[in-house]
Structure 1
Amino acid sequence: MEKILLTGGNGFFCTRFAQRYQNTYEILSANTSMLDVTNETQVNETIKNFNPDYVIHAAAKASTDFCNENPEIAYKINVTGAVNVAKACKKMHSKMIFISSEQVFNGNTNGGPYTEDITPCPDTVYGKNKLEAEGLLKEILDELWIVRFTWLFGMPERNCGMSPNILWGTLTDILKGKKIKATPNEYRGLTYVHEVIDQFPMIFEIPYGTYHIGSHNSLNRYNICSLIIKEIGLEDKTEELLEKDLEKYKIHTRDIRLCTDKIRNYGLNFSESSDGIKKCIKEFNLKLQ
Structure 2
Amino acid sequence: MKKVLLTGGNGFFCTRFASHYKDKYEILSLGKKELDVTDEKQVLDTIMKFNPDYVIHAAAIAVTDYCNEHPDIAYKINVKGSLNIAKACKEVNAKLVFISSEQVFNGNIESGPYDEFHKPVPNTVYGQNKLEAENLLKEIIEELWIVRFTWLFDLPERGLNINANIMWNTVKSILKGEKIKAPVNEYRGMTYAKEVVEVFDKIFEIPYGTYHLGSKNDLSRYEVVKLIFEEMGLSERIDELLFKDSEKYKENPRDIRLNTDKLKQYGIEFKDTNEGIKQCITDYKLNL
- Please give the TM-score of this superposition, normalised by the length of structure 2: 0.99
Instruction: Please list, as runs of the form range in 1=range in 2, the aligned pairs for 1:141-152 lying within 5 A after superposition.
Output: 141-152=141-152
State the Cα distance separating 1:250 from its structure 2 match.
Answer: 1.2
Find the residue that maps to 1:24 and give its secondary structure: coil
> Which residue of 1 is the match for residue 45 of structure 2?
45
Structure 1 position 164 matched with structure 2 position 164: yes
Deviations along 1:12-40, whole A, 9 cap, x unmatched?
A: 00000000000000000001110010111
Aligned mates of 2:32, 2:162 — CA distance in 1: 15
Matches within 5 A, 1:174-253: 174-253=174-253
Matched, 1:81 2:81: yes
Secondary structure at the residue paired with 1:6? strand
Task: Please list the CA deviations of residues 165-207 of structure 1 after superposition, one character each: whole Å capped at 9, or x if unmatched.
Answer: 0000011111111100000000000000011110011111100
Looking at structure 2, the residues matched to 146 and 239 of structure 1 have their Cα atoms a distance apart, in angstroms, of: 42
Matched residue of 1:191: which SS?
Answer: strand
What is residue 58 of structure 1 aligned with on the other side?
58
Give 1:64-75 correspondences, 5 Å limit: 64-75=64-75
**Paired letter, 1:32:** K
What residue number does 1:7 align with?
7
Structure-1 residue corresponding to 2:123:
123
Q: Distance in 2 between matches of 1:284 and 1:85?
A: 36
User: What is the alpha-carbon distance in structure 2 between the residues aligned to residue 269 and residue 260 of structure 1?
Assistant: 8
Q: Find the counterpart in structure 1 of residue 153 from structure 2.
A: 153
- Give the drift of 1:266: 0.4
Q: Secondary structure at the match of 1:108?
A: coil
- Once the two structures are superposed, what CA deviation does each residue of 1:199-233 show, in whole Å capped at 9, x if it has no partner? 01111110000000000000000000000000111
The one-character-per-residue Cα deviations of 1:64-117 (angstroms, maximum 9, x if unpaired) are 011011101110110001000000000110000000000000000111000000
> Is 2:25 the counterpart of 1:25?
yes
The whole-number CA distance in structure 2 between the counterparts of 1:48 and 1:247 is 52
What's 1:173 paired with?
173
The separation in 2 between residues aligned to 1:75 and 1:249, in whole angstroms, is: 28
Q: Secondary structure at the match of 2:170?
A: helix
Give the 4+ runs in structure 1 shifted more than 2 A: none
Post-superposition Cα deviations, 1:243-281, rounded to whole Å, max 9, x if no partner, equal: 011111111000000000000000001000000000000
Identify unmatched segments of 5+ residues in structure 2: none
Please list the CA deviations of residues 22-63 of structure 1 after superposition, one character each: whole Å capped at 9, or x if unmatched. 000000000111001011111001100000000000000000
Give the distance between the partners of 1:36 and 1:245, measured in 2 at CA: 41
Deviations 1:128-170 (A, max 9, x none): 0000000000000000000000000001011111101000001
SS in 2 for 1:59: coil
Query: Percent of pairs identical after alignment?
Result: 62
Helix, strand or coil: the match of 2:73?
Answer: helix
In structure 2, what is the Cα distance between the partners aligned to 1:69 and 1:176?
31
How far off its partner does 1:286 sit? 1.0
| Equivalent residue letter for 1:247 | E
Amino acid at match of 2:195: E
In 1, distance between residues paired with 2:162 and 2:238? 26
The gaps in structure 1 that reach 5 residues or longer are none
Name the SS of the counterpart of 1:123 in structure 2. coil
C-alpha root-mean-square deviation of aligned residues, in Å?
Answer: 0.5
3-state DSSP class of the match of 1:97?
strand
What pairs up with 1:260-275 in 2 under 5 angstroms?
260-275=260-275
Amino acid at match of 2:283: E
Counterpart residue number, 1:283? 283
Task: Give the structure 1 partner of residue 90 of structure 2.
Answer: 90
TM-score, length-scaled by structure 1: 0.99
CA drift at 1:2 = 0.2
For residues 261 and 193 of structure 2, the distance between their equivalents in structure 1, rounded to whole angstroms, comes to: 18
Q: Distance in 1 between matches of 2:252 and 2:37?
A: 37
Residue type of the partner of 2:267?
Answer: G
1:24 aligned partner, one-letter code: K
Secondary structure at the aligned position of 1:158 is classed as coil
